[in-house]
Amino acid sequence: MTSSLITLALLWVLLLVGVPIAFSFTAVAMAMLWYIDIPLAAVPIQLISGVDNFILLSVPLFLLMSNILLKGGIGRDLFAAMQSWVGHWKGGLGIATILSCALFSAICGSSVATSATIGNVAIHEMTSRGYQRRFVFGLLAAGGTLGILIPPSIPLIIYSSITEDSIVDLFLAGLLPGLLLTALFVAYCFIHALFDQHTVPVAKASRQQRLRLSLRALPSMALALLIISGIYSGAFTPTEAAGVGTVAALAIVLLMKRLSWSDFKLACMDSLRTTVTLFLIIVGAKLFSHAVALYDIPQVITAAIVHTFSTPTGFLLVVGVIVLIMGLFLESVSLLMLMMPILLPALNAMGIDRIWFGILFAILIEFALITPPVGMNLFVIQAVGKGSLAEVSKGVIPFFFVMFLALVLVYLFPVIAVGII
């Protein structure tokens, strides 16, 4: 246990002084290997093996697809179509925003891309109709978190690479909880609108307008359907789905004459930067996992957990609290890569369904996306909406409770996650 505490303390010291998470993982791991005389010549092999996974190939492809759609303005089409159907309802623009986030999440699997894409359109539209900026910012930051729950989800892909569980099963398990969280967000938008008398509803669209706008958004909706149905039917693997989706997204924006050569280069560069960042974290975390395994740290922690908690309920409660606290300091992928290699043996020892736990963990790390000081969605909406971090942070507070309700429901009724597998 002493080695476990020293290792975690050293890691936290590096993080607190500002060392990037990927290099913190690598530095601690190399120090641990050096201390027990493991040849450091083996480190490059471990680094390469960290990303030697066919499933992980889907990550850069999904990122490229989402950036192509972002540069092509597909978010405008989705939002306009949703607005034409529900915009005249009480709280209709908020509902249209959440539905647009859900649809875009089903295409790209990225929370940041979802927030940025829909936020570019929805913020001006909603604030001009009297919606409070704080509510709008919170809605979009929280709505973007659907991108890591509704398949295809990049964090679930990474979770699958760690636990070696079926990615198709994880995607299936994330579908109903994603729809549940979408429904809860929609319900909150409606309830909020009942008490907000300053919003101006959108005029009800005519049948012709709805048809025209829906047809305009049809290619992106068809793309989401292609990806999800292709994965679930077994027509192609998630990695193949990412490749097919990227080609289809490029064809859509080119046929619609929405993408210039300079935009395409920007989309590629943005995808490259994000991919490099994610993969550096992954290879650093894999090396760290290898080192802690040599020290028997997961086994020691598992024994302590099994001895301390007689039921899975107590274990899950403590894990939930730890993840929420660590989410204040780590972004979602770093949190996933740090905790899962340590928690995995304990899950197996306590007989907890790893697919079900993966969905619970995905909901927990959604909180990390909207909690300061490192919540990525907060910074995205702050930049898009030209607001303050405090304004965005206050706006997400009500959505914490909505997300917590979804977490409790998935815990109490596991069939929500695993019932359709």
Domain boundaries, the chain: 1-419
Is residue 291 pLDDT above 60, yes or no? Answer: yes
Say what the pLDDT of residue 404 is: 96
Give the three-state DSSP class for 73.
coil
pLDDT digits (tens, 9 = 90+) for 140-169: 999 999 988 998 899 999 999 889 899 999
Distance CA 176, CA 415 (A): 9
Cis-peptide into 152, omega within 30 deg: yes
- Chain-centroid distance, C-alpha 374: 14
Is residue 296 pLDDT above 80, yes or no? Answer: no
Say what the pLDDT of residue 218 is: 92
Select the more confidently predicted residue: 246 or 298: 246
Say what the pLDDT of residue 407 is: 96
pLDDT digits (tens, 9 = 90+) for 344-371: 888 888 889 999 999 999 999 999 899 8
Distance CA 162, CA 183 (A): 30
Q: What is the mean pLDDT of the chain?
A: 87
Is residue 251 pLDDT above 90, yes or no? Answer: yes
Distance CA 136, CA 364 (A): 22
State percent of the chain over pLDDT 90: 38
Mean pLDDT of 296-323: 79
Is residue 1 pLDDT above 60, yes or no? Answer: no
Say what the pLDDT of residue 335 is: 85
Q: Do residues 149 and 177 touch, judged by C-beta distance below 8 A?
A: yes
Residue length of the chain:
421
Packed helices 92-108 and 207-233: angle between N→C axes, nearest 10 degrees: 30
Is residue 387 pLDDT above 80, yes or no? Answer: yes
Is residue 304 pLDDT above 90, yes or no? Answer: no
Is residue 400 pLDDT above 60, yes or no? Answer: yes
CA distances from 50 to 26, 117, 328, 337 (A): 12, 31, 26, 11
Is residue 325 pLDDT above 90, yes or no? Answer: no
DSSP string, 16-60: HTT--HHHHHHHHHHHHHHHTT--GGGHHHHHHHHT--GGGGHHH
Q: Do residues 351 and 312 touch, judged by C-beta distance below 8 A?
A: yes
Q: Do residues 351 and 357 touch, judged by C-beta distance below 8 A?
A: no
Binning pLDDT at 50, 70 and 90, where does residue 306 land?
A: low
Cα-only R_g, the chain: 22
Running DSSP on this structure, what letter comes out for residue 329?
T
pLDDT digits (tens, 9 = 90+) for 82-136: 989 998 888 899 999 999 999 999 888 788 889 988 998 899 889 988 899 999 9
Is residue 409 pLDDT above 70, yes or no? Answer: yes
Mean pLDDT of 203-214: 90
Distance CA 399, CA 235 (A): 37
Packed helices 167-195 and 389-412: angle between N→C axes, nearest 10 degrees: 120
Mean pLDDT of 370-397: 89
Say what the pLDDT of residue 134 is: 93
Binning pLDDT at 50, 70 and 90, where does residue 50 land?
A: low
Q: Is the dihedral of CA 254, 259, 265, 266 positive or negative?
A: negative
Binning pLDDT at 50, 70 and 90, where does residue 2 land?
A: low
- Token readout for 246 is 């990227």
Distance CA 270, CA 49 (A): 25
Residues 6+ apart with CB under 8 A from 60: 271, 272, 275
pLDDT digits (tens, 9 = 90+) for 172-189: 999 999 999 999 999 999
- Token readout for 357 is 């736990």
Distance CA 24, CA 14 (A): 6
Mean pLDDT of 384-389: 87
Between 9-13, 28-32, 382-386, the lowest mean confidence (pLDDT) is in 9-13
Say what the pLDDT of residue 55 is: 81
Say what the pLDDT of residue 183 is: 97
3-state secondary structure string across 272-289: HHHHHHHHHHHHHHHHHH
Is residue 199 pLDDT above 90, yes or no? Answer: no
Distance CA 287, CA 282 (A): 9
